[in-house]
Amino acid sequence: MELKEKIIGKSLLLIALSSVMILGLITFFIFEQGIPLISKVGPLNFILGERWVPSKGEFGIFPMIVSSFWVTAGALALGIPLGLACTIFLAEWSPPSFAMVLRPAIHLLAAIPSVIYGFWGLVILVPLVRDRLGGPGLSILSGSLILGFMTLPTIISISEDSLKALPPTYKQGALALGATHWQTIWRVLIPAARSGIVASIILGMGRAVGETMAMIMILGNAVQMPSSFLDSARTLTTNIGIEMGYASGDHRQALFATGIVLFLIIMGLNSLAIFLSRRRMGS
Amino acid sequence: MDKRTSTKSQAPDSKQISMTKNQYSKQNRLGYWILGFDDYLGFGFWKLGILAILFLPLVLATGPLMGCQRSKPEITVAGSTSVEPFAELLAEGYMKNHPGSNIYVQGGGSTAGIVAARTHAANIGMSSRSLLPDENDLHPITIARDAIAVIVHPKNPLNDLPPARIVSIFSGQIKNWKEAGWESHPIVVVTREEGSGTRETFQKLVMKNEEITLAALVQDSNGAIRQVVSNDPHTIGYISLGLVNEKVKAVKISGVEPSVANIEVGRYTLVRPFLFVFDAEPAGMAKAFLDFVLSPEGQKLLEKEGLVPATFKVH
């Protein structure tokens, strides 16, 4: 029996280690490939440079950092209100029979491959934006709209879980004190579930920053500094995705260096989010 | 009492077993360290099961690799996404003639194809650009020539553009169709990504020292550019002539229509080679495939798709 436990324990340790090891390997590899180029170009030139012309040896990714920011911000501007409204309805208002239909439908949103979102956006949304609002249609606005929908399942399922995990006494107490249903939700339940909701938004943001395939199809991938929501743009992920196939030498390393910046941004965002949500819990 | 007699009767066997057991425990320190026991012969089927599960992925992974070397003839052709659709047609033709053989065609890009040929990741690399000086150790063989066509939406009334006008449009000096002789609407330039063989050829032969505007939309394949141009009347792009269809319009350059006939007489000069790249002299099935591609049958297939046969000398 003891032997069996030992074997199981060690096998599980091995398997667990292998997954962490893969993370370590990936991290090591992108840094090993990317750092030489960053030091060659200079970290400031690389991050703040406004021109990306690999054939001339110019590697500046500032427009892509800015574009990533705008696309993600746009996605959250759509995803947060829509996601929270949906969560509150599902958790508090929806009749159970309706929730039984709505919830799987939302989970299904997460199961749709991103290339389908991209294709749908390209065929339906892009011409709409082009004809109604102008510009090439392949734009930050179209990208943000699609990404907003893509973040919904993450935001809804995690924040709904955190609302449902609250002790029922919170709701009962608030209602007993004479608060209306809406007051209970807005003043008691949501503040109490805040850390989970923040976590859901952060995870949605991670989805938005990391999305590649749909963005390659919808953003138009121009390497310019975007000046409006109707401009074409290129995010950090799509820069890697679109140029990977043909890149070699410095160009290839520059794409890995782009990966490093992406990596650091996501690490920074997540750390900040964890820090914020923990502080909130503590006070 | 019973037990003892039974042991005795099987004495030679158990002795052998214990010897083997000792050998195992000495030889398999690593196994001992990982699994935490050295009772290699006393184990039950469940332990065997765990081992099997642990090693199954390994076995599954090596299986196809081992099989690859002795099974029926097959080769991999990888590289340029411009050459890929034509290589697929050729592979189909070859496989029809040689039942039982397999040719796998993969994309990835010209540079990736050249690297694949060098590292033997593929038997044949495809490239839609000439080799660079540091790639000269490889053997390139031109299988066909391809023209690059400048394309616009069929609704665009412009049919003919002089090279200088094309340069000023693609470099962003002209930003409105009005300046090019059409309605007042911003021009949307569509280009290929950096490193693409098509883009490098376009840069070298048309743009020369001018830079393609950074505001240009970037798409990562001929098909994607065709898709964008066919959807938006105010776009302009460039793709492989063989892939021009009725949804887009190829413009004449200074009155010269991009056509196989004009390429053959050397009037249309926006032309680049399609290469098969080999690490060494082609041999075996790779050579058989190359021979098929260069045969009249293969060349005819390419010509039908809008390419210029390799056998034809271009000026």
Mean pLDDT of chain B: 80
Say if the Cβ atoms of B37 and A53 lie within 8 Å.
no
| Per-residue confidence (pLDDT) for residue B3, from 0 to 100 | 43
In a domain, A84, yes or no: yes
Chain B residue at shortest CA distance from A227: B215
Which residues in chain B are contacts of A57 at CB distance < 8 A?
Answer: none
Rg (CA), chain B: 30
In a domain, A175, yes or no: yes
Please compute the mean of the pLDDT values over residues B283-307 and round it to a whole number: 89
Q: Is the pLDDT of residue B307 over 80?
A: yes
The answer to whether B200 and B174 are in contact (CB under 8 A) is no
Q: Is the pLDDT of residue B2 over 70?
A: no
Q: Could you tell me the sign of the dihedral formed by the alpha carbons of A191, A194, A200, A205, in that order?
A: positive
DSSP-derived 3-state class of residue B250: strand
Length, in residues, of chain B: 315
pLDDT digits (tens, 9 = 90+) for B137-154: 899 999 998 889 999 999
> What is the percent of chain B with per-residue pLDDT over 70, rounded to a whole number?
76
Say if the Cβ atoms of A222 and B218 lie within 8 Å.
yes
| Per-residue confidence (pLDDT) for residue B67, from 0 to 100 | 47
Residue B132 CB-half CA count within 13 A: 11
In a domain, A81, yes or no: yes
| Per-residue confidence (pLDDT) for residue B10, from 0 to 100 | 44
Interface of A with B (CB under 8 A): 3, 6-7, 10-11, 14, 51-56, 122, 126-127, 130, 136-138, 216-217, 220-224, 232, 234, 242-243, 245-248, 251
Whether B34 has its CB under 8 Å from any CB of chain A: the answer is: yes
In a domain, A237, yes or no: yes
In a domain, A183, yes or no: yes
Looking up tokens 């799987």 gives A104
Instruction: State the DSSP H helix or E strand holding residue A276, giving kind and residue range, or none if neither.
Output: helix A250-282
Say if the Cβ atoms of A243 and B195 lie within 8 Å.
yes
Amino acid at A92: E
Whether B125 has its CB under 8 Å from any CB of chain A: the answer is: no
Q: What is the C-alpha separation between A133 and A138, in angstroms, rounded?
A: 12
In a domain, A256, yes or no: no
Which residues in chain B are contacts of A66 at CB distance < 8 A?
Answer: none
Strand partners of residue B161: B253
Task: Indicate which CATH number applies to the domain containing A165.
Answer: 1.10.3720.10
The answer to whether B118 and B279 are in contact (CB under 8 A) is yes
Of the candidates A65, A87, A57, A30, the one whose C-alpha atom is nearest the C-alpha of residue A234 is A65
Say if the Cβ atoms of B193 and A242 lie within 8 Å.
yes
Q: Nearest-5° angle of CA A113, CA A116, CA A119?
A: 150
| Per-residue confidence (pLDDT) for residue B37, from 0 to 100 | 46
Mutation target to probe the B interface, by most B beta carbons within 10 A, among A223, A239, A246 is A246
Of the candidates A272, A106, A112, A99, the one whose C-alpha atom is nearest the C-alpha of residue A198 is A272
Say if the Cβ atoms of B217 and A51 lie within 8 Å.
no
Of the candidates A193, A201, A177, A200, the one whose C-alpha atom is nearest the C-alpha of residue A280 is A193
Provide the shortest C-alpha distance from residue B97 to chain A (in Å): 32
Count of domains for chain A: 1
Higher pLDDT, B225 or B70: B225
Of the candidates B193, B150, B195, the one whose C-alpha atom is nearest the C-alpha of residue B168 is B150
The answer to whether A225 and A63 are in contact (CB under 8 A) is yes
In a domain, A34, yes or no: no
pLDDT digits (tens, 9 = 90+) for B193-249: 887 888 988 998 999 899 999 999 999 888 899 999 999 999 999 998 888 999 999
Chain A residue at shortest CA distance from B106: A245
| Per-residue confidence (pLDDT) for residue A84, from 0 to 100 | 94
Strands B308-309 and B139-152: antiparallel
Say if the Cβ atoms of B219 and A251 lie within 8 Å.
no
pLDDT digits (tens, 9 = 90+) for B251-293: 999 999 998 888 888 889 888 889 999 998 888 899 999 999 9
Looking up tokens 């065997």 gives B48
Say if the Cβ atoms of A246 and B35 lie within 8 Å.
no
Q: What is the C-alpha separation between B35 and A13, in angstroms, rounded?
A: 11
Chain A residue at shortest CA distance from B218: A221
DSSP-derived 3-state class of residue B211: coil
User: The tokens of B251 are what?
Assistant: 């413009």
Find the CB nearest A7 among B50, B200, B224: B50
Say if the Cβ atoms of B218 and A221 lie within 8 Å.
yes
Say if the Cβ atoms of A246 and B214 lie within 8 Å.
no
**DSSP secondary structure letter of residue B218:** E
Higher pLDDT, B70 or A229: A229
| Per-residue confidence (pLDDT) for residue B27, from 0 to 100 | 46
Find the CB nearest A7 among B35, B197, B203: B35
Number of inter-chain CB pairs under 8 A, A vs B: 93
Which residues in chain B are contacts of A224 at CB distance < 8 A?
Answer: 214-215
Please compute the mean of the pLDDT values over residues B35-60 and round it to a whole number: 55
Say if the Cβ atoms of A251 and B215 lie within 8 Å.
no
Find the CB nearest B211 among A53, A122, A248: A53
> For chain A, which residues score pLDDT lower than 70?
1, 276-277, 279-283
Looking up tokens 């950096």 gives B194
Instruction: State the DSSP H helix or E strand holding residue A153, giving kind and residue range, or none if neither.
Output: helix A140-164
**What range defines the domain where residue A94 resides?**
63-247+263-282
Q: Could you tell me the sign of the dihedral formed by the alpha carbons of B126, B250, A52, A125, in that order?
A: negative
Instruction: State the DSSP H helix or E strand holding residue B161, giving kind and residue range, or none if neither.
Output: strand B160-161
Overall pTM > 0.90: no
Chain B residue at shortest CA distance from A12: B54
Mutation target to probe the A interface, by most A beta carbons within 10 A, among B221, B231, B235 is B231
Q: What is the C-alpha separation between A215 and A140, in angstroms, rounded?
A: 9
Find the CB nearest B217 among A11, A14, A221: A221
Which residues in chain A are contacts of B194 at CB distance < 8 A?
Answer: 53-55, 243, 246-247, 251
In a domain, A52, yes or no: no
Q: What is the C-alpha separation between B217 and B207, in angstroms, rounded?
A: 17
**Residues of chain A by 3-state class (helix, strand, coil), percent to 5:** 80, 0, 15
Asked casually if ipTM beats, i.e. exceeds, 0.90, the reply is no
Say if the Cβ atoms of A138 and B50 lie within 8 Å.
no
Q: Is the pLDDT of residue B5 over 70?
A: no
Which residues in chain A are contacts of B193 at CB distance < 8 A?
Answer: 221, 242-243, 246
Residues whose CB falls within 8 Å of the CB of residue B256, separated by 6 or more in sequence, listed in order: B262, B267, B268
Whether B99 has its CB under 8 Å from any CB of chain A: the answer is: no
Find the CB nearest B111 among A51, A55, A248: A248
Instruction: State the DSSP H helix or E strand holding residue B148, giving kind and residue range, or none if neither.
Output: strand B139-152
Which residues in chain B are contacts of A234 at CB distance < 8 A?
Answer: 218
Provide the shortest C-alpha distance from residue A205 to chain B (in Å): 25
Q: Is the pLDDT of residue B116 over 70?
A: yes
Find the CB nearest B36 among A7, A223, A247: A7
Chain B residue at shortest CA distance from A252: B195
The answer to whether B180 and B236 are in contact (CB under 8 A) is no
Provide the shortest C-alpha distance from residue B259 to chain A (in Å): 28
pLDDT digits (tens, 9 = 90+) for B93-115: 999 999 889 999 998 888 888 88
Whether B183 has its CB under 8 Å from any CB of chain A: the answer is: no
Q: Is the pLDDT of residue B165 over 90?
A: yes
Residues whose CB falls within 8 Å of the CB of residue B245, separated by 6 or more in sequence, listed in order: B226
Higher pLDDT, B22 or B116: B116
